[in-house]
Structure 1
Amino acid sequence: MGLREDLERFREVGDERRQDLKEFIRHGNLGGSGPDSIQIPIKIVDLPEFAYDQLDKGGVGQGQGGTPDVGQPVGRPQPGDGDEEGKPGEEGGEHEYYEMDPEEFAQELDEELGLDLEPKGKQVVEEVEGDFTELTRAGPNSTLDFEQLFKRGLKRKLAMDFDEDYVREACKVAGVTPREVFEWARGERILVSQAWIEDAFSDVPEDERGTWGSFEEMMENVERTTTLQRIRRDGLQSVPFRREDERYRHPEVVEKKEKNVVVVNIRDVSGSMREQKRELVERTFTPLDWYLTGKYDNAEFVYIAHDAEAWRVEREEFFGIRSGGGTKISSAYELAKAILEEEYPWAEWNRYVFAAGDSENSSNDTKERVIPLMEEIPANLHAYVETQPGGNAINATHAEEVESALSDTGNVVVAYVKSPEDVTDAIYRILSTEDGED
C-alpha cells in the first residue's frame, strides 16, 4: 500500500471519528451550522508524513553545499506558494467537520435517543385515483365485480333455500291444511311461501295422505338436510341473482397530503436571562428545529422574543437578544395565537409551540393568562423549557405551575435544563410526549 492509499484510509477514519451526536448537541458549536446543513466536528487523526532525523553532522540536508544548517535562519519566505507574488493561493484546505442534512440528522437522532415520531399529513396537495377498491351500485359493465355478485346471490340462496322433500312430507300429515303446514314451517324457521305449500299440498297423491299421524311423528322419522349438505350432494345448480346484488368497482380517491409543520419558538429575553441561560435555550431549540425540518416535507418557523411585551424576530436575532425589562410570558402566547390563526390554520398545519426561559414571570400571569392561552391554542405539542443553571430561583415558578395544571392533557410537556448535560434528555422528553390525536 502506497502513501496515497494510506492518506485516503486516514481520511476515512477521520470521517468515522466525527464527534458523538449527543456530545455535539451538549457542547459543540451549533452556530457553525445553517438551517439546511449541520456541521459536526471530526476528531482529527494525524496524517502520515516523512521526517528526517536531525544529526549533528553528515548526511543529506545537513548544511553541505550552501544548504542552511540546523537552527540557521533561512530568511523571508519566497514567492511561489500563491498565484502571484505576495498573494495567497486559491485552493481550499481540508474541512474538519462532517456535514449532514436535517433529514439525516433526524434519522440519527431517532436512533441515538430512541425516538419514533411519525409526522402527520394535513394539507391536501392533490387528489389522485388509487386502486379499484371502492364499490358502487352503478357503472360500466367492464367494472362489474362478479365475485361480489356471486357472494350476494349465494348468501341469499343459503338464507332462503329449504329442504323441499322435508316440507312435502309435512303435507302428508293426517288432517292438516296448507295453512297449518305453513305455520308449522314458520315455527321451524323454514323460509317457504304459503303459495309453494299449497302447490305441494295439491300434488300429494291421495294414497299418501295421512302417512303421518302428526308433525312430531313425521319429524322423528324423516331426516332434514341442510342447504350445505344438499350442495355437497347434488352440486350447486343455480344461484339467484338480483339487480340489487350488482356492484361495480370504482377507483378510490386518494388524497395526497403534505406533511407540513410550523414551529413557534418563544424565548424570554428579560434582564434575568443571562448568557448561560441563553446558551441552554439555543442548545435545546436548535436541534429541535433541525429535527422537525428533517421529519416534515415543509417546515416553517416563527420566532418570538418577549420581556414584558412580545415581538416577532428573525432567527438570526433570536438567540442573541437581551433586554432589561420585566417578564410577562402571556404577551408571547397572545402574539403566537394571533400569528397561528392568521397564517397557519390548525386544519392545514401541524403546530409545535416551544417556549423557554428561567420560569420567572409577573405575578399571577401564568395562572390567569398563560395556561388559558395554552389551552386555547390547538397544537400537536406545547413545551416549556426551564433554564436555571445551578437550581431554581425562589420566584421561578412558571414551569411548575404549567406542569401542575396541564401535564394530564397529553400534548403539554415541561422540561428542566440546568446544564448542557440535561439538553438531550429534555429533547427526548419533548419529542416523545406528542399527543397521537390531531
Structure 2
Amino acid sequence: MGLRDDLERYRDVGEQRRQDLSEFIQYGDLGQSLPGEVKIPIKIVDLPAFEYDQLDKGGVGQGDGGTPQPGDPVGQPQPQPGDGDEEGDPGEEGGEHEYYEMDPEEFAQELDEELGLDLDPKGKKVIEETEGDYTDITRTGPASTLDFERLFKQGLKRKLAMEFDENYIEEALRVEDWGPDEVYAWARQQNIPVSHAWIVDADSNLPDDERDRWTSIDEMTEHVERESPVERIRRKGLKQVPFRREDERYRYPEIVEEKEKNVVVVNIRDVSGSMREKKRELVERTFTPLDWYLTGKYDNAEFVYIAHDADAWSVERDEFFGIRSGGGTRISSAYELAAELLEEYPWDEWNRYVFAAGDSENSSNDTEERVIPLMERIPANLHAYVETQPSGNAINATHAEEVERHFEGSDDVAVAYVTGPEDVVDAIYTILSTESNDE
C-alpha cells in the first residue's frame, strides 16, 4: 500500500467521519447550529507527515562553530521557539473545528432511519388547485374529450342485448300447430329479444311443407342448438354497433388540491426557581432536535415559545432556554396562553404540536383541574410533556405521572422522562412515535 492509499484511507476514516447522530444529540454542542442549519462535529484524524523535532538541536556532534573534538564539553540544548517551557502568555486562539453541515430535511431523514420512525406529515392548507388526469366523466364536453372506448362498450352491450339466433326462432315456427303468437309467447319465456313483428314476417316467408317438422317444442329444442350472441358475432362479424346519444360521455380532468404541510410548534418551559441549570440543559437537548426534525418534515414550520412560572409569557427562541425565575409554578397558565396564541393557526389549516417540559412540580390540583382539561380542549396532532429530574423525582413532582395516567393509551399525548443526556434520544423516540398517522 503506497502513501497515496494511506492518505485516502485517513481521509475516509477522518475528515468525512462525523459524530454519531445519537451521540451528538445527547452530548454534542447544539449551540453551534442554527434553526435552519445543523452542524455536527467531524472526528478529525491528523494525516501522517515528517516533522523536524526541535528538541534534537544541540548535543554531541551538533555545534554552531566547527566540528568539536572528542572529549570537548558540549552545552545543553537551548530552548527553541514553540517549546513547551518557553515563557510567555497562554495562547488565546482555540483549535480549529470542522463540522458536517446538514439542513433540517436531511436531519429528519437520518433521525427517521436511526430511530425507525415513520412520521408522515399531513397536508392541510390548500394552496393551489390544479388539473390532474382526465379521470372524471360528464355528459357534455368538446368532441376531443369524448370517451370513445366507453361509448363503444355501451354500444356493444346493447348490440349483444339485441342479438338473437334467427334460425332458432324460425325452427320454433316449424313446430306443428304453432303460429307467430305461440312462438312469441315462448320466446318471451326464454328471454329471447325478438319482436312480434319479426316473427310474423318470418312466418310469412316460411314454406307450407316445413310447418310440421317438429311435433312439439321440446323435440325442437332437443335437436336444435341455440347459438349465443357472442358466437353469432364471431361467425358473422360485427358490421355495426348501435350508438346512442345517451351513451356519450366526455372526460374532464380531476381537480387536484395541492395542500401545504404547515406546522406550528408550541414549546412550553417551566422557568421557576426549581428549574436549575442541569434541568434547563436537558430541556434544550430534547426540544432543539424536535424543532429541527419538524422543520425538516414540514413545508412551513413556525415556532411559538412560552415560558412560565406561576404566570406565562411569550418569548423569543434565544431567550427560551436561558430564562430562570424565582417564582412558583402554575403550568396551566402556559396552556391558557397557548390556546390564545393558537387561534392564529386554525386547526383546519395547520398541524399543531404542543410540547411542554419541566421538573413535574406544579401548584396543588392545577394538573387535574386545569391542565388536563386544557390539553383536551386544544386540538393538536400531539401533546407531549417531558419531565427533567436529574436527581430523581421530588416528592411533589407528580405532574407527568398525572398526565400519563389520565391519557394512558392515547395516540395524541406522550409523556417522557429524562434524568440525564443518555435519556434524550429515547424521549424523542417516545414523543415522535406516539402520534398516530391516521387521517
- Closer/same/farther in 2, CA of residues 224 and 98 from structure 1, 3 Å limit: same
Of 92, 95, 98, the match for 2:100: 98
- Closer/same/farther in 2, CA of residues 44 and 174 from structure 1, 3 Å limit: same
Is the Cα contact below 8 Å between 2:41 and 2:97 reproduced in 1?
A: no
Between 47-56 and 20-29, report the one with greater CA deviation: 47-56
* Paired amino acid for 2:307: A
Of 219, 223, 228, the match for 1:217: 219
Is the Cα contact below 8 Å between 2:120 and 2:437 reproduced in 1?
A: no
Cα deviation 1:163-184 (Å, max 9, x = unaligned): 3333343344445565554444
Query: Could you tell me how far apart the structure 1 residues matched to 2:27 and 2:198 are?
Result: 91
In structure 2, what is the equivalent of residue 82 of structure 1?
none
In structure 2, what is the equivalent of residue 396 of structure 1?
397
In structure 2, what is the equivalent of residue 272 of structure 1?
274
In structure 1, what is the equivalent of residue 360 of structure 2?
359
1:292 maps to 2:294: yes
**DSSP-derived class of the 1:311 partner:** strand
In structure 2, what is the equivalent of residue 132 of structure 1?
134
Aligned-pair distance for 1:302? Answer: 0.9
Query: Could you tell me how far apart the structure 2 residues matched to 1:125 and 1:275 are?
Result: 44
Aligned-pair distance for 1:20? Answer: 0.8
**DSSP-derived class of the 2:296 partner:** helix
Query: Structure 2 length normalisation: TM-score?
Result: 0.84
Aligned-pair distance for 1:220? Answer: 2.5
Cα deviation 1:272-300 (Å, max 9, x = unaligned): 32222222211111101101111222111
Is the Cα contact below 8 Å between 1:399 and 1:414 reproduced in 2?
A: yes
In structure 2, what is the equivalent of residue 429 of structure 1?
430
- Closer/same/farther in 2, CA of residues 97 and 140 from structure 1, 3 Å limit: same
Query: Could you tell me how far apart the structure 2 residues matched to 1:70 and 1:381 are?
Result: 70
Query: Could you tell me how far apart the structure 2 residues matched to 1:348 and 1:39 are?
Result: 32
Equivalences for residues 38-437 of structure 1 within 5 A: 38-49=38-49, 50-52=51-53, 54=56, 56-57=58-59, 70-72=77-79, 94-176=96-178, 178=180, 180-341=182-343, 343-437=344-438
Is the Cα contact below 8 Å between 1:130 and 1:251 reproduced in 2?
A: yes
- Closer/same/farther in 2, CA of residues 218 and 107 from structure 1, 3 Å limit: same
Query: Could you tell me how far apart the structure 2 residues matched to 1:213 and 1:123 are?
Result: 79
Query: Could you tell me how far apart the structure 2 residues matched to 1:214 and 1:316 are?
Result: 102
Cα deviation 1:341-370 (Å, max 9, x = unaligned): 2x2112211222212222233333333333
Between 206-215 and 393-402, report the one with greater CA deviation: 206-215
Query: Could you tell me how far apart the structure 2 residues matched to 1:93 and 1:257 are?
Result: 48
* Paired amino acid for 1:271: G
Is the Cα contact below 8 Å between 1:135 and 1:247 reproduced in 2?
A: yes
* Paired amino acid for 2:118: D
In structure 1, what is the equivalent of residue 33 of structure 2?
33
Is the Cα contact below 8 Å between 1:63 and 1:70 reproduced in 2?
A: no
Query: Could you tell me how far apart the structure 2 residues matched to 1:20 and 1:109 are?
Result: 11
Cα deviation 1:231-281 (Å, max 9, x = unaligned): 332222322211122222323333322222111112222233222222221
Between 201-210 and 371-380, report the one with greater CA deviation: 201-210
The root-mean-square deviation of aligned C-alpha atoms, in Å, is: 3.3
Query: Could you tell me how far apart the structure 2 residues matched to 1:104 and 1:59 are?
Result: 61
Identical-pair percentage: 72
The structure that has the greater radius of gyration is 2
Query: Could you tell me how far apart the structure 1 residues matched to 2:166 and 2:371 are?
Result: 78
Query: Could you tell me how far apart the structure 2 residues matched to 1:2 and 1:18 are?
Result: 26
Query: Could you tell me how far apart the structure 1 residues matched to 2:318 and 2:131 are?
Result: 44
Between 161-170 and 21-30, report the one with greater CA deviation: 161-170
Query: Could you tell me how far apart the structure 1 residues matched to 2:21 and 2:248 are?
Result: 60
Between 288-297 and 130-139, report the one with greater CA deviation: 130-139
Is the Cα contact below 8 Å between 1:303 and 1:318 reproduced in 2?
A: yes
Is the Cα contact below 8 Å between 1:134 and 1:252 reproduced in 2?
A: yes
* Paired amino acid for 1:26: Q
- Closer/same/farther in 2, CA of residues 174 and 280 from structure 1, 3 Å limit: farther
Cα deviation 1:138-179 (Å, max 9, x = unaligned): 222222222222122223333443333333433444455655
Number of matched pairs: 421
Query: Could you tell me how far apart the structure 2 residues matched to 1:201 and 1:394 are?
Result: 106
- Closer/same/farther in 2, CA of residues 218 and 426 from structure 1, 3 Å limit: farther
* Paired amino acid for 1:225: E
**DSSP-derived class of the 2:15 partner:** helix
Is the Cα contact below 8 Å between 2:59 and 2:77 reproduced in 1?
A: no
- Closer/same/farther in 2, CA of residues 133 and 394 from structure 1, 3 Å limit: same
Query: Could you tell me how far apart the structure 1 residues matched to 2:162 and 2:307 are?
Result: 75
1:19 maps to 2:19: yes
Between 113-122 and 247-256, report the one with greater CA deviation: 247-256
- Closer/same/farther in 2, CA of residues 190 and 418 from structure 1, 3 Å limit: farther
Task: Show structure 2 runs of 5+ residues with no match.
Answer: 67-74, 83-91
Is the Cα contact below 8 Å between 1:413 and 1:429 reproduced in 2?
A: yes
* Paired amino acid for 1:40: I
Cα deviation 1:177-200 (Å, max 9, x = unaligned): 655544443433334445544544
- Closer/same/farther in 2, CA of residues 37 and 211 from structure 1, 3 Å limit: same
Between 398-407 and 97-106, report the one with greater CA deviation: 398-407
Aligned-pair distance for 1:34? Answer: 0.9
In structure 2, what is the equivalent of residue 80 of structure 1?
none
Aligned-pair distance for 1:59? Answer: 6.3
